[in-house]
Structures are given as structure tokens and as C-alpha cells.
Chain A
Amino acid sequence: MADAAQTAAPQKQTTYLQAIVDAQTEEMDRDPTVIMMGEDLTVFGDGSLVQRFGPKRIWNTPISELGFTGLAVGAAMTGLRPIVNLSIGSFLFLASDQIINQAAKIRYMTGGQMKAPVVFRAALYYDRAIAAQHSDRPYSMFMNVPGLKIVCAAGAADMKGLLKSAIRDDDPVLVFEDARLWPSKEVVTTDPEFLVPLGKAAVVRPGADVTVVAIAGAMKPTLEAAELLAAEGVSLEVIDPRTLKPLDLETIFTSLAKTGRLVLVENAHRVCSATSEIAAAAAIEAFDLLRKPIVQLAAPDVHVPFSPALEKLLYPTRDTIADAVRRVL
């Protein structure tokens, strides 16, 4: 799925989380204006970066999500490229005023005089029995905000290349990482110029019968379903949008022209979700390509419960995805 094979630099097995750390380290090495901000940075995953870059580039913040997010926007407007680590996606709600009212709008409101080249990182930290206030997958809420770019990819190499592109981009970019994927490994290039362009989807698994678009942590059960269905003689074309805004509808519609069938899978809440947007776009712009109704699999409109016995009911599985595909054959 990644473009890593095209480069000559050494490749190594890398976890999704390490790919993110590597992306930041490489970009901080390359560009002295890149800084990091967030809570507990000196202790958790990025701790090694403090020794490497010093306290003027790694800012361990108080628990002030709104404040330090706004500081990062102000710093971005005045010559730096901050990476704000908001840790868990639910904390984005605390920071959202500065993201939505300042970062997203400042270029437009000033007629292009100002820019805010800032990256907001947040983990989708669900499916681990930590209940409703830490388990949000809020990317779709931010899709409704003009002026933001949004990354949410399933593969380690893609995350590395996209995060590097996001850091180099002159607009604010939200980069969502699926914490379920942190330990998953993939071959990733060490080429410091390896970039994945924002706004370009990837065909993760080519196929002929049904187009399945899967987002972040929904990719793994989707690929398992593809294996299962292959044994039944059904060929899935699996697409990772990788960037949710701007959304690469061309890749999805190109696949749809071939299959005529569309199944959408994600772990966020269904109402006004990323897959709702894809479904709407397909229905409005590509209705003539559809041979069957669109099927959407997402979490129901209910809070994430604490009990694992209840939480597991929320997310699509290999079997529910396979069943959905069978319904459109």
C-alpha cells in the first residue's frame, strides 16, 4: 500500500507508532523550525527526542489543551512548524476552539496574509475498556470545518509519509492515529525524503467485485474479510482513503466504475461520519455507477461503554464486514 518499494534507501520492519516517531525525528532533524508540544512528552513515547533536540524544541506543557494548542497556532503564524501532541482524541474537544476558530480560519480571514503550518496529533484510543470520555474517534467532526486537512491512515508506512507531508504543509493538518494499530508492523523506508501526498487514497488490495473503503483500525478486519471472501470466489477491492480531507473521491469512484458495489467500514459513530460523507458523495456524484445500494458499517449512535462485553458490539468485525459484502453481491 505504501510507496516505500520505489525508494532505494534501507527498509526496516517498523511499528505504526515507531513510524510516527521516526517521521517527527526526521523532520526535526531536517528543519529547525519544527517543534513539538504536548503533555508528558519527556516521559512517554517521544522522550528520547528531548535529549536530541533540547527544551526549546520539545515543550512539555501543563495540562492546558486549549492554551497550548493556541500557543502552537500563534507560533505557527510566526515562523515555526509546531507538532501538537494532544495524545488522546477526546482531548481535541478541549482544544477545538483554537483549532476551528483560529488555525482553520486564519489564512482565509486574513485574505492569505497569515498561515498556520501546524500539525495536531491525536490518537483514536478506543476498544480498550476505558469508557466514553477517552474513546472518541472524532475525525469526522473536523471534516465539517473548512480549512483543515485531516489524515487518518491504517498503514505504518503511510502514516510516516503522511505525517512528514503534514509537517511540511503550510496549512493546519489533523493527524489521527489509531491506537489499535500502534504495535502493528510493516516494512517502512528510512529514506528521509519519503513522503506520501496529502489527499491521495491508496488501493490496498486490488479486486473486481466489491469496493470496500475502510478507515484506520477498520482496515485489519476488512482485509481479513477479503481473505475469507476470496476463498468463496469473491474479490474485494480495498481502499484506504488515508486523507479524509481533502478526500480522494476519484480513486473511490474509479474503483466503483469497475465493481458497481460499495461497502464502507469505520469504527467511528455512524451519524455524519466519514463514511456518511463518502456515501453521500457516491450517491450524489456517482449514482449511475452503483449497481446495488451502498452499505455502511460503523459504530451505532451510542456512547462507548466501559464493559468490554458491551464495547465489542460497537465495531465492525471480519464477519460483519463479510456479511455486508455478501448482501451486495
Chain B
Amino acid sequence: MTSEAGGTQARFTEAQAYEAYRRMVRIRKFDETGSRLFKQGRIPGAYHASIGHEAAIVGACMALRNDDGMTGTHRSHGHPIGKGADLKGLMAELMGKATGVCKGRGGSMHLADSSVGIIGESAIVGGGIPLATGAAMSALVRETSQVALCFFGDGAVNEGTFHESLNMAALWKLPAIYVCENNGYAVTTSIGASHGQPQISLRALGYGMPGVAVDGQDVTSVYAVVAAAVERAREGGGPTLVEARTYRFDEHSTGLVTGGPPYRSKEEVADWKANRDPVALYRQRLLDEGRPEDRLAAIEAEAAEAVAEAVRFAEESPLPDPADLYDAMFANPIAYPSRRLGQNA
């Protein structure tokens, strides 16, 4: 049950191959620019870049329809971009602007764009796993053909939500796809220091669902595995656990300084960047398969311009109006007492 998910291997069409590259490049350039803006103090809060995860994200997202549900994590800049979101509202959200996709209420760790099917990006580790499972249950009850895909990290599989959700998903054959972006470290704690049994895909056996480990730096492999899982889920075959083995190129959060002995070596990081960069690997593959370089260069230029435009849009956008502080608290606005009490204090 822990090998390939069976069936014919799904492959990108020619258009999808370019689209996958486009989305990967957009994630990379968005987060390279965002990290720089963060260091310059132009983005407040904390910044968790998706750099290094692009193939795992885009390979999975390319297997979904626009109306399929999706949840992400604190490291979720890549997820909406991978699902096709516009960059302007995302960058404005990172800057806390009124035009942000969450109107400046969510920020970096909650960068959810429902227009592409994202139902939430949970910064509580493992918090999105039951939500995606519930979205899958909802699809079953409403008798749609939707599936729900849940991204989470290697740390989240040690949360109770993972255990409880995967059990119920298998029990009820829910159309859920659990994609673990295993980057080897939960903040600074390695798999070896936190997992009694280090192969995450094997956990699926305990729940009675297929578990598949895949090279998370290879977008076509991730796509093939997730597409097979999506097909199974749509046909009533139930959930799949996919372990995409990837690597976080930057610190856990941008600018984070960890005291004490390093939790990963400089050589390890350098080796991944030099030899396992998912964007570079896919670019080379597209070239090797005979696609013209100028086409790829055009995609890269277009992504750079889209990011630049998003930054311009975000910086020119207004900050949220203090009078709107309570907006989006409730469906039906309520003059609840704390509002008056707060003013009296």
C-alpha cells in the first residue's frame, strides 16, 4: 500500500508543462522579492518563504480543479500561487493593506484566497488537516465531485489532528488528499529527533489508506502521484497520504537567528540549493525535452513583471481604515458590549 498509487501515470500536457513552470517561477520570484521587502521592513510580522518547496506545491495543485478545496499552513505563500491566485492581493495582504486578499486581517501566515478554492491557511501546526477533511466530507454529503487537498509539514504528522482526521477519512472513504511537504525539519527539530518511525508515508498503513513517498523536487513526479490520488478520491476510492520529500532553502522564518549549535549544516543547505533546486531542475528538464529557452525566459520575465506589479499595487494601496476594525467579525454586525467598554477604558 505504500508504493505508487497505481493506474496510468498522469503526465502534463504541453500547456500544463509550461503552466507548471510558470507557477513555480511565480512562487520563487514572489518569495525572493517578499523576503527582501521583509528584511527592509516593508512587510511586517513574520515571513515564511516557500522557496525550495515549489515542485511539491505546484505538482499537487496542478492535479486539482479550481473548485476543489485546499488548506495550507503557516508556510503558505506558495499555495495560493500554485493554485493560480493573482499576486496583487497576496502582496497587499503581506503588507497589511486594505486591498489585501484578507483585507489585512490575515497576513503572511493566513494567506488564503477563496477565489481559487483555498478555505484556510492555518498557522496552528496541523490545524488545517481536519478542515480539509471536513471539506471532503462536505463534498460527499452535497454529492459534488469535489475533492479536498491538505498541505502540511513533517511536524504536523505528530499532531493529534493528523491521527484523528486520517482515521475518519479512511473510515468514511472521504475524497481527501493529504500532502505532506516533508522538508526534514519542524522549525529546527529533525525527523530523526521527532519521529519514532521516520518514513511518513508508512503511517498510511495504520489508517488503511494508500501512502506514497515521492521526490518533492520533481514536479512531474508529484503531479503523477497526486493526480492518481485525486482520481481515486473522485471515484469514491477514499483518501491518500502523499509524502513529498522536499527542502526549505531559507530559514524557518526569514531573518530567524538560532542560537546554539546549527541544526543543519551549511554543506547540506548548499548541496540542496546547488543540486536539488526544483525550479532549476524543471527548467533543465524542459530544455532537455526540446522546449525553446526563449519561451522559458519569457515566462520568467512575465513572472518578474507580475511580482513587480504586485509590489507597486501593494505599496500604493491604502492601509485599512481604523473605523473598519470590527468588519468581518460576524455575519450580522453586532454592537457588542466590548466595543463600548473599550472606548470607555
Q: A75–B135 contact, CB under 8 A? A: yes
Q: Does B17 contact A (CB under 8 A)?
A: no
6 shortest interchain CB distances as A-B pairs: A74-B134, A70-B130, A67-B164, A111-B103, A170-B331, A74-B131
Contacts of A97 in B (CB 8 A): 124, 127, 161
Choose among B133, B330, B331 the residue with the greatest number of A CB atoms under 10 Å from its CB.
B330
Q: B165–A109 contact, CB under 8 A? A: no
Residues A44-102 near B (CB distance < 8 A): 56-57, 59, 61-62, 64, 66-80, 97-98, 101-102
Q: A107–B344 contact, CB under 8 A? A: no
Would you give 24 A-B contacts (Cβ < 8 Å), ordered by A?
Answer: A56-B141, A62-B168, A66-B164, A67-B133, A67-B165, A71-B133, A71-B165, A74-B119, A74-B131, A74-B136, A75-B134, A75-B141, A76-B134, A78-B119, A78-B138, A78-B139, A108-B328, A109-B105, A110-B110, A110-B120, A111-B100, A111-B102, A169-B332, A285-B340
Q: How far is the CB of A31 from chain B (nearest CB, A)?
A: 12
Given A77-B119, A285-B340, decide whether A102 and B142 contact each other with a Cβ distance below 8 A.
no
Q: Does B261 contact A (CB under 8 A)?
A: no
Q: How far is the CB of B336 from chain A (nearest CB, A)?
A: 4
Choose among A67, A102, A171 the residue with the greatest number of B CB atoms under 10 Å from its CB.
A67
A34 to B68 alpha-carbon distance, docked (Å): 21
Cβ-closest chain B residue relative to A147: B329
Cβ proximity bits A140-171 to B, threshold 8 Å, 1 near / 0 not: 00000011010000000000000000000111
**Size of the chain B interface, CB-CB below 8 angstroms:** 53
Q: A170–B332 contact, CB under 8 A? A: yes
Q: A67–B167 contact, CB under 8 A? A: yes
Q: B112–A70 contact, CB under 8 A? A: no
Q: Does A192 contact B (CB under 8 A)?
A: no
Q: Does B114 contact A (CB under 8 A)?
A: yes
A267 to B151 alpha-carbon distance, docked (Å): 43
Q: Which of B161, B327, B344 contacts A112 (CB 8 A)?
A: B327
Q: Does A115 contact B (CB under 8 A)?
A: yes
Q: Does B198 contact A (CB under 8 A)?
A: no
Q: Does A106 contact B (CB under 8 A)?
A: yes
Q: Which of A66, A75, A247 contacts B161 (CB 8 A)?
A: A66
Contacts of B134 in A (CB 8 A): 70-78
Contacts of B211 in A (CB 8 A): none
Q: Does A35 contact B (CB under 8 A)?
A: yes
A77 to B163 alpha-carbon distance, docked (Å): 22
A76 to B330 alpha-carbon distance, docked (Å): 15
Q: How far is the CB of B74 from chain A (nearest CB, A)?
A: 12
Cβ-closest chain A residue relative to B119: A77
Q: B130–A114 contact, CB under 8 A? A: no
Q: Does B237 contact A (CB under 8 A)?
A: no
Contacts of B337 in A (CB 8 A): 246-247, 249, 281, 285
Q: Which of A57, A101, A109, A245 contacts B106 (CB 8 A)?
A: A109
Q: A281–B341 contact, CB under 8 A? A: yes
Cβ proximity bits A241-260 to B, threshold 8 Å, 1 near / 0 not: 00001110100000000000
Give the interface of A toward B (CB within 8 A).
Answer: 33, 35, 56-57, 59, 61-62, 64, 66-80, 97-98, 101-102, 106-115, 146-147, 149, 169-171, 199, 245-247, 249, 281, 284-285
Contacts of A112 in B (CB 8 A): 103, 327-328
Q: A73–B340 contact, CB under 8 A? A: no
Given A67-B161, A78-B119, decide whether A107 and B135 contact each other with a Cβ distance below 8 A.
no
Contacts of B139 in A (CB 8 A): 78
Q: Which of B112, B136, B165 contacts A110 (CB 8 A)?
A: B112
Q: Does B280 contact A (CB under 8 A)?
A: no
Q: B130–A69 contact, CB under 8 A? A: yes
Q: Which of A66, A107, A284 contacts B341 (CB 8 A)?
A: A284
Contacts of A33 in B (CB 8 A): 142
Q: Does B160 contact A (CB under 8 A)?
A: yes
Contacts of A74 in B (CB 8 A): 69, 71, 119, 130-138, 148
Given contacts A74-B138, A111-B103, 15 further A-B contacts (CB under 8 A): A61-B168, A66-B161, A67-B133, A67-B161, A70-B134, A72-B134, A75-B137, A76-B134, A78-B69, A78-B134, A109-B120, A110-B114, A115-B331, A169-B332, A284-B344
Q: Does B122 contact A (CB under 8 A)?
A: yes
A241 to B336 alpha-carbon distance, docked (Å): 14
A321 to B291 alpha-carbon distance, docked (Å): 84
